[in-house]
Homo-oligomer: A and B are copies of this chain.
């Protein structure tokens, strides 16, 4: 289980908001991976996520939460703009 890297690059710092958004998506997916390490089971559940409107919204909320933390870590990328 510990073999899964939960924070790619082990850093919340990204160059741009766009990269921060991708990091948020990855981090949220990695929690699912560590909670359900069985790849076959995850593959079986995948259509559930992507074809259910309520779940798509919930995934959006998860990404919003992770991104809030990443954005704060990067001081909202204010200095690079």
| Contact yes or no, A57 B59, CB < 8 A | yes
| Contact yes or no, A41 B50, CB < 8 A | yes
The number of times this chain is found in the oligomer is 6
| A-side interface mostly | helix
| Contact yes or no, A58 B58, CB < 8 A | yes
Contacts of A57 in B (CB 8 A): 32, 49, 55, 58-59, 62
Give residues 10-54 of A contacting B (CB, 8 Å): 10-13, 16-18, 20-22, 25, 27-28, 31-32, 34-36, 38, 41, 45, 48-54
* A interface, CB within 8 angstroms of B: 2, 5-7, 10-13, 16-18, 20-22, 25, 27-28, 31-32, 34-36, 38, 41, 45, 48-69, 71-73, 76-78, 81
